[in-house]
Structure 1
Amino acid sequence: MELRHLRYFVAVAEERHFGRAAQRLHIAQPPLSQQIRRLEAELGVTLLQRTTRRVELSPAGAVLLDRARGILAAADAAAEDCRRASDGEIGRLSIGFTGSTTYSLLPRVATALREGLPDVTLDLRGEMITPAQVEGLLQGTLDIGFLRPPVRSRDLTLEVIRSEPLAAVLPAGHRLADADEVPLEALADEPFIVYAPHLRSVLGDLVEDACVAHGFTPRIGMEVTETATLVSFVAAGLGVSLVPTSVSGMTVAGAVYRPLAGVAPRAQIAVAHAAGEPPPLVARALDLVQTAVMGIPADTLIS
């Protein structure tokens, strides 16, 4: 049983007339009659009761008409979905966000993708460190990643979309909590809340390098795996830390953010995907992402 046979049958069943059905299908009447007879022979039933004036459905024909309509509708929908998938209008997108971008970019990107690709299923994964995203992108479990360079892989394409300075995050009762600027060297004797070394965090390396450049190695007070936990531990008075300014949008009672004195080290954010021409859905998403991140103040610091 072929789809074209079902289309022929539905046309005759709905028109109740071979001539009108043939005109509707843009074929000659004799071949249409022949195809209907072949369908009946294949099924071993009579589908149409033919008279000199009109055509009536047999009980078997009434059942097939209902089923055929559903089958043809499903086939048409499948063809349309294939076209839309090829055009990047439907499908599934998995996107990773490194620590601070979870709070600064994820909401804006999610809104842009939901509005621009309403029929796409979004799998948004926050608090993913850069090495984990690189692995996901290379293995195909992530389509797009918001991560922090450097990334040394020829199999990935990266585009830096933002660069933001680091800021100090301090307990609200800290001696420098009300300072306009915090000299980094003034934190030399403080316990630092840092990312656990096994995470191989790009931001963790940046913080350590910044401290070393100011004459000290940060003394580790606590190790964490997520940015939200880091800020919460600072708020609890367990230490201090350095974070990208975008993290200041995450308000935690007991934690304050202050600019660093002088030229602050900067952390980059890049959008990454597998090297080569991206699939249509990923390409459409990247275009929407570019629009979504435009106009976000990179140096905004919320005190």
Structure 2
Amino acid sequence: MNIKQLQSFLVLCDERHYGRAANRLFITQPTLSQQIKQLETSLKTILFRRKGRNIELTKAGAILQQHAEKIMLALKNAENDLLPYLHQQRDRILLGVSGSHLALPVFGQFTRLHPEISLNVKELSTEQTVKHIVANTLEIGIVYQTVIPAQLSATVLFEDEIIAAVPVNHPLAQETRLSLEQLNDQPLIVLNETLLLRNVINSELNKRKVIPNIICELDNHYSCLEYAQAQIGIALITRSVCRSSAPKNVRLMSLSVPAFFHSVMLVHNNELLLDEPMLCLLSQIKHFYSHDAQPTA
């Protein structure tokens, strides 16, 4: 028994005449007769009996009619429920970020617009994210500026400032602005050496012959900020970490390098499937960061 047979069966129930039913179904009468015969064979029962020039349902046929109508209604309801997902080619988007805070501004809005799409965010180093996009195990990434392979497309979103989160009980918290030289031998909390921004920080410290007293190396920006808020030491973080909420028990201070910024980029494979949900997400990311005013010290 299959859907096509049930459709033919219900039309024949309605017409009670093979010729008229075949015309409605746009098939020949022998083809319709064969479909009904196959249905009766599969059910091992007789569904119709002859009555003059017309036909009538047997008791078994009447029972099947009730069930067939319910089946066809259920199928129609299923089709209607699936209409919002017409032509949908994905059920998730894989996004790699060099800090979960970089995806936070667009996450809620995107999931409201596309509740059927799971936005799967993986927090990885810039290098790891780029490698995953090249390998097609991630689709897009928000990363700090680095060398991008030729098969990837990159768009600069904004310039992220590297700042110091200074515990309020630290003497340097009274300053209006810090130089890197003032951090010499100060207790510093920094990202671990596998992360791109740590190399940027190390490079600037080395240029100014600053000897850092690194007391803690952590895997993400939030953890560095939390340690500073606990009055453990001075954390070197990005200002974008503090975009969503103001941190407590620390002063956020710019570093006179004279400028200590690093670009944040949106990257994806040139062969990326640009369906409607993906275009929506890319547009939201670009729109947010192009209109977002970065906080100042």
Note whether the superposition's TM-score is higher than 0.5.
yes
Partner SS for 1:141: coil
Q: Is the 8 A contact 1:112 1:289 kept in 2?
A: no
Tell me which residue corresponds to 1:32: 32
Gaps of 5+ in 2: none
Which aligned pairs between 1:252-263 and structure 2 lie closer than 5 A? 252-261=247-256, 263=258
The equivalent of 2:125 in structure 1 is 129
Residue 84 of structure 1 aligns to a residue whose secondary structure is coil
Asked whether 1:116 is paired with 2:113, we answer yes
| Alpha-carbon distance, 1:231 to partner | 0.9
Matches within 5 A, 1:1-303: 3-13=3-13, 21-22=21-22, 24-27=24-27, 31-49=31-49, 51-52=51-52, 55-56=56-57, 58-59=59-60, 61-62=64-65, 65=68, 68-69=71-72, 72-73=75-76, 76=79, 83-86=86-89, 90-99=90-99, 102-103=100-101, 105-125=102-122, 127-197=123-193, 200-249=194-243, 250-261=245-256, 263-280=258-275, 281-297=277-293, 299-301=294-296
Does the aligned pair in 2 maintain the 1:170–1:241 contact within 8 Å? yes
How many angstroms apart in 1 are the aligned matches of 2:288 and 2:59?
Answer: 59
Displacement of 1:96: 2.3
Within 2, Cα distance between the matches of 1:15 and 1:217? 93
Q: Secondary structure at the match of 1:189?
A: coil
Provide closer, same or farther for how the CA distance between residues 278 and 151 of structure 1 changes in structure 2, counting only shifts above 3 A.
farther
TM-score, reference length from structure 1: 0.79
Contact 1:10 1:68 in 2 (8 A): no
Aligned residues of 2:224 and 2:236 also touching (Cα < 8 A)? no
- For 1:190-235, what per-residue CA distance to the aligned partner results, in whole angstroms no more than 9, with x for missing partners? 12212222xx211111111222233324331211112111111122
User: Structure 1 151/283 Cα, relative in aligned 2: closer, same or farther at 3 Å?
Assistant: farther
Distance 1:288 1:228, change over 3 A: closer
Q: Which amino acid aligns with 1:247?
A: V
What letter is aligned with 1:256?
R
Larger mean Cα displacement after TM superposition, 19-28 or 148-157 = 19-28
Instruction: Give the letter for the 2:12 counterpart.
Output: V
Number of positions where the alignment pairs a residue of Structure 1 with one of Structure 2: 292
What are the Cα deviations for residues 248-270 of structure 1, in whole angstroms up to 9, with x where unaligned? 23444322201223632212111
Give ranges in structure 1 of 5+ residues lacking alignment: none
Give the root-mean-square deviation of aligned CA atoms. 3.3
Q: Which has the larger radius of gyration?
A: 2
Confirm or deny: 8 A CA contact 1:160 1:271 kept in the other structure.
yes
Q: 1:140, 1:81 → 2: CA distance? A: 27
CA distance in structure 1 between the partners assigned to 2:214 and 2:46 by the alignment: 84
Work out the percentage of aligned pairs sharing the same amino acid.
24
TM value normalised by structure 2: 0.81
